[in-house]
Amino acid sequence: MRINDKKLSIIIPVFNEEKTIQKIIELVFKVDILGLEREVIVVNDGSTDLTKKILTNLKNDFNFVLINLEKNQGKGMAIRKGLKYVKGDLVIIQDADFEYDPNDYKNLLKEISNDFPVIYGSRNIKKKRNIGYFHYYLGSKILNILINILFKTNLTDAYTCYKLFPLDLIRNIEINSNGFEFEAEITVKILKMGIKIKEIPINYYPRTFKQGKKITIKDALIGMIVILENRFIS
């Protein structure tokens, strides 16, 4: 797959990230993406802090699509809304905090090919990983094991934010998730299509609840249900 003539669309779902959103936007527009054309789509998922005001002001300096949702509907819904506006060839998701480093985009882009059209940035491949809260690490590990057993694969980080895929692929997948279970749903549906997912190591800087971490044990349980439904029901 030749990517030098492609356009990369970056979807940023954001909810109450007034402390980090401006720096993320600035960095996303700055990082090396191997000369590809860049499109940024920000979905403000019903933020109740200053996020919406900051994004509105940022549009004076940066050319991005801003979608404002009136009510908070979840990361999955925000991504689904953002996908409707994508005009690029390749799509990657970027969280609005600094747990993931946009400087890793270029490393994911280098790996995409006809044999591996989907690239995941794994937090678990590096020998020294910042795991953050142990119960989060454990929950992600359990979900990975479940996916690997049921779909006969060997993924290390299905719940990573950094998923790079061709637009025409993801638009052929019916996505129903509203919340963080999006990560599980898109992964198992890609695997059910017989598409190989290649993982590469990325940087990861976990934050605390005080800093704004939002995913909960409930999200893990919903993710488990989504995995099981897609294996035995769908």
Predicted confidence (pLDDT) at residue 212 exceeds the cutoff of 70: no
* 75, part of any domain: yes
Q: Average pLDDT of 16-38?
A: 97
Residue 1 lies in a domain: no
Report if residue 148 sits inside a domain. yes
Mean pLDDT of 206-219: 60
Q: Return the bridge partners of 44, or none.
A: 14, 68
Q: What is the CATH number of the domain that holds 226?
A: 3.90.550.10
**209 — pLDDT class (breaks 50, 70, 90):** very low
Kindly state whether residue 37 falls inside one of the protein's structural domains. yes
Is the whole-model pTM more than 0.85? yes
Helix axes 75-83, 182-192, angle to 10 degrees: 60
Q: Would 130 be classed as within a structural domain?
A: yes
Q: Residue 132 is part of which domain span?
A: 7-232
Alpha-carbon distance values, 74 to 45, 71, 90, 145, 147 (Å)? 7, 9, 23, 25, 23
Residue 135: the pLDDT is 55
Q: How many domains does the chain have?
A: 1
- Let me know if residue 53 belongs to a domain: yes
Cα dihedral 25, 26, 28, 29 in deg (nearest 10): 120
86-139: pLDDT as tens digits:
999 999 999 998 899 999 999 999 999 999 999 999 998 876 665 555 456 666
Q: Is residue 2 part of a domain?
A: no
For residues 43 and 80, the answer to whether their CB atoms sit within 8 Å is: no
Q: Percent of the chain having pLDDT more than 90?
A: 75
